[in-house]
Amino acid sequence: MSADHPKNPNEATPPDDPLVSEARRRHQRHERWLREGDMSVGRRLAQIGVLGWIFIVPTLAGLFFGRWLDTQLTTGIFWTTPMMMLGICLGAWTAWKWMNAR
C-alpha cells in the first residue's frame, strides 16, 4: 500500500480544514473569472432580481399565513407579526446561502 492511502479502507479520511477549502473555492472562482471574465449588466440585474424574490416571497408568505391564522382564530394581529418575522428570517437565511453559493 502507498503512503497516501489509509491502512484501513473503512477508515474515513479527515475532513478538510475550513481555511484550505475556502482557499480552494476562492482559487476556483478566480480561475473561472479568468476564463469567463466579468458578468454582463443584464446577468447582474437578473441576479439582483432573483435575490429580491428569494427574500420577499417567504416574507409575504409569513405575512399572509399570519393574517389567515388571525382571521381563523379571531386574535387580531397576534400571529401576523411573528409569522412575518419568521418569513423575514427564512428569506434572509435563504438569500445568504444563495449569495455564498455563487
Burial zone of 69 (CB within 10 Å; 0-12 exposed, 13-18 middle, 19+ buried): middle
Domain of residue 63: give its range.
41-100
Residue 22 lies in a domain: no
**Nearest Cα residue to 102 out of 65, 48, 64:** 48
Dump pLDDT digits (tens) for 13-30: 556 788 888 899 999 988
Residue 60 lies in a domain: yes
| pTM (two decimals) | 0.60
Q: Provide, rounded to the nearest whole percent, the portion of the chain with pLDDT above 90.
A: 45
List the chain residues with pLDDT less than 70: 1-15, 102
Q: How many domains does the chain have?
A: 1
pLDDT at 34: 83
